[in-house]
Amino acid sequence: MRSRTRLNWRLIIFSAALILVTAGVVTWMILDKRAADLAAMATPTPSPALITAAPSSTPRPTPSPEPTESPVPTVYPTVRKGDRGDLVMIIQQRLINLGYLTGRADGDFGSRTQQALKDYQAVQGLEEDGIAGPKTMIHLFDGSSVPQATVYRMPGDTVYHLKPYCPLVHGPEEIRLSDAVRQGLTECPECR
Ligand SMILES: [Zn+2]
């Protein structure tokens, strides 16, 4: 009976010791876990918001400068009587197409080409120098050229007529448009 009681006391003490040890280990594990959590909290991890708000290190693409409307410097060589070559031929063909020059373009800037150019300049309101300078060249090829034409006028009248059957014309004489312009005649409003 007595030995059994002592055995029971030993069992109780051993159990208590085991409980205490177990409790201590569990407590230590909990505290250790909390310490690890606290350590993790102490180390600030950058939040996504902060990452987004942080100034980007990638350089912002600099907008390429707008292409400026730079006027294309078009250099027209001046062509005059005595000149020869492809450019003379091009001018002659243009004058032929517009009715100021007859025949075939031969690339030889002679008196006929010079006169045709003067006629063209008269109609276009350009200086009648018979020289294909920059202004004349631009007019020749910019699509604004007025073709040579036969027009009609009444002697003493201040208008020329595009139509020989214009009601305002009676027995007209035929003249060239370039000559009508030179004489200061204006286009008949009835003929438009
Ligand atoms: Zn008329």
3-state DSSP of 103-123: CCCCCECCHHHHHHHHHHHHH
Average pLDDT over residues 131-143: 94
Distance 128 CA to ligand 1 centre (A): 27
Distance 23 CA to ligand 1 centre (A): 125
CB 177 within 8 A of CB 151: yes
β-strands 159-161, 186-187: how paired? parallel
Distance 158 CA to ligand 1 centre (A): 11
pLDDT-based confidence at residue 174 (cuts at 50, 70, 90): confident
List pLDDT tens digits, range 14-25: 455 545 445 554
Q: Does the structure show a pLDDT above 90 at 140?
A: yes
Q: Does the structure show a pLDDT above 70 at 161?
A: yes
Distance 157 CA to ligand 1 centre (A): 11
Q: Where are the domains of the chain?
A: 1-33, 86-141, 150-191
Distance 49 CA to ligand 1 centre (A): 83
Per-residue model confidence (pLDDT) at position 178:
94
**Burial classification of residue 160, based on how many CB atoms lie within 10 Å of its CB (0-12 exposed, 13-18 middle, 19 or more buried):** buried
- Angle, to 10 degrees, between the axis of helix 86-97 and the axis of helix 134-141? 50
Distance 58 CA to ligand 1 centre (A): 75
In terms of phi and psi (left: phi > 0; alpha: psi -120 to 50; beta: otherwise), the region of 150 is beta
Distance 86 CA to ligand 1 centre (A): 40
Distance 94 CA to ligand 1 centre (A): 28
Per-residue model confidence (pLDDT) at position 13:
47
Q: Which CATH architecture has domain 86-141?
A: Orthogonal Bundle (1.10)
Q: Could you tell me where the DSSP H helices lie in the chain?
A: 2-42, 48-53, 86-97, 111-124, 134-141, 177-182
Distance 119 CA to ligand 1 centre (A): 22
Q: Does the structure show a pLDDT above 80 at 158?
A: yes
Positive or negative torsion for Cα 93, 95, 96, 98: positive
Distance 152 CA to ligand 1 centre (A): 8
At residue 174, the 3 state secondary structure works out as strand
Q: Which residues contact 189 (CB under 8 A, 6 or more apart)?
A: 159
pLDDT-based confidence at residue 139 (cuts at 50, 70, 90): very high
d(CA 98, CA 178): 12
d(CA 8, CA 16): 12
Share of the chain above pLDDT 70, in %: 59
